[in-house]
Amino acid sequence: MQSSRHPGRWPGRGAAGGTRHDDGPGGEDLEYDDSLDDAVDDYADDSLDDVVYDEEPEPGPGLTASTVGQVARDRIAPLVDRPIEAVVMVRPSADGWTVEVEVVEDRRVPSSGDTLAIYVVELDRHGEMVAYSRARTYKRAKGDAGRPGVQGRG
């Protein structure tokens, strides 16, 4: 199969930075230069700031709080369809995990007028979401006074 981006070249990888020869469809010898692939790989490695997974981390026994927080954030985002502000609490429970996620319900100018909400996400021991609910809303300027021990930021 011929590459549509590079006519006359074949997809695939040879030795790093080298060339390789493939037999074309008519038996002709085609030369493929891997240096472009290596340059793209190097650029991607240097440009990515965050960890990027080919697949989502596998939930399971031995989950860490940070992994559970990220899983809860990823699960709730498409359901609420609003910007996620932060994961504000992760706590193990008898059946798995309880996570609180802060969501921007309504943006205002200035941002101190934003309405924020806390969503409670329940995950089982394997990190699968079993329930979620909006627990409370509040104005950014007033802070979240709904949690014990949390003072308003006003």
What tokens does 33 get? 């230069």
- The residue behind tokens 């079993």 is 130
Look at 18 and 9; give whichever has higher pLDDT: 18
pLDDT band of 7, cuts 50, 70, 90: very low
Q: List pLDDT tens digits, range 15-66.
A: 444 555 556 566 666 665 556 556 656 665 665 555 554 555 454 567 899 9
**CB distance 69 to 91 below 8 Å:** no
Q: Is the pLDDT of residue 12 over 80?
A: no
Higher pLDDT, 132 or 152: 132
The CATH architecture to which 65-139 belongs is: Roll (3.10)
Domain ranges in the chain are: 1-52, 65-139
- Specify the higher pLDDT residue, 142 or 15: 142
The rounded distance, in Å, linking the Cα atoms of 59 and 71 is 8
Res 62: pLDDT: 75
Q: CA–CA separation, 67 vs 74, rounded Å?
A: 11
Average pLDDT over residues 132-141: 94
- CB of 144 closer than 8 Å to CB of 136: yes
Stretch 84-109: mean pLDDT, rounded?
94
